[in-house]
Amino acid sequence: MMRVVEIAACHSSHTSAAKTQGGQVYMWGQCRGQSVVLPHLTHFTCTDDVFACFSTPAVMWRLLSVEHEDSLTVAESLKKEFDSPETSDLKFRVDGKYIHVHKAVLKIRCEHFRTMFQSYWNEDMKEVIEIDQFSYPVYRAFLEYLYTDSVDLPPEDAIGLLDLATSYCENRLKKLCQHIIKRGITVENAFSLLSAAVRYDAEDLEEFCFKFCVNHLTEVTQTAAFWQMDGPLLKEFIAKASKCGAFKN
């Protein structure tokens, strides 16, 4: 699930657009006479350009911001080709959905794939690789990170990506996930995030979540996440919190 920061609609043309926190622009509705049911990723940087390009008649109040293909940087070109069926040479199938990628990019960006795509491994000969240990949003975010060097996920999904980053020994991605989780911590999810930090051996994140829980002790102990903590972890939290003076009153 991506975090939307801007949404717009043109009722006369039945076209809608949205922009995510990561700067991606999606459109849906009527597109040049075609009906687009699900949000479709565009190459625009602004929602206004969706209506200028796709609406019938076109709706605009300024010039399009789209750049010519020959002016794209290497990073922009790479980002543009993520999940592109036209140029990809490999597909991952996760939760019944396909993600189109390029072997060369994965081998360059990730040691896990560099090892996987050896001639003596079965995966090197496959055109479709099944993934069942991670969810679609998490694995898609991971592959997109390899193309963009950024992550756009809510804290709850970032926990799953933290698991993947730990499994694949992606330390930079692990730090990005921890940053997302810290930024999105709330009273409701604090103990869930604390449990995840302990589970994935993220010491800095664990300390951050622990301090948040102690500082909001009354509120967080009333949440479902607190009562769902396993016994050993709950005892460890209480013992550590007591040493910090959390129960002095």
Find the domain containing 27 and state its range: 4-54
* Confidence band for 68, pLDDT divided at 50, 70 and 90: low
Domain for residue 135, yes or no?
A: no
Residue 87 has pLDDT above 60, yes or no: yes
pLDDT, tens digit (0-9, with 9 covering 90-100), for 175-189? 899 888 888 888 988
Domain for residue 154, yes or no?
A: no
Measured between alpha carbons, how far is 141 from 151 in angstroms, rounded to an integer? 6
Domain for residue 42, yes or no?
A: yes
pLDDT, tens digit (0-9, with 9 covering 90-100), for 213-239? 888 888 988 888 888 777 788 888 888
Domain for residue 97, yes or no?
A: no
CA dihedral 193, 196, 200, 205 (to 10 degrees): 20
* Residue 145 CB partners (closer than 8 Å, separation 6+): 151, 173, 176
pLDDT of residue 11: 78
Domain for residue 115, yes or no?
A: no
Into how many domains does the chain fold?
1
* Better-scored residue on pLDDT, 59 or 108: 108
Residue 63 has pLDDT above 60, yes or no: no
Segment of 11-25, 51-65, 90-104, 150-164 carrying the highest mean pLDDT: 90-104
Domain for residue 186, yes or no?
A: no
pLDDT of residue 67: 54
Beta strands in the chain (DSSP E): 4-10, 15-20, 25-31, 34-41, 90-94, 97-101, 128-131
Residue 152 has pLDDT above 80, yes or no: yes
Domain for residue 38, yes or no?
A: yes
Q: Would you say how long the chain is, in residues?
A: 249
Residue 19 has pLDDT above 60, yes or no: yes
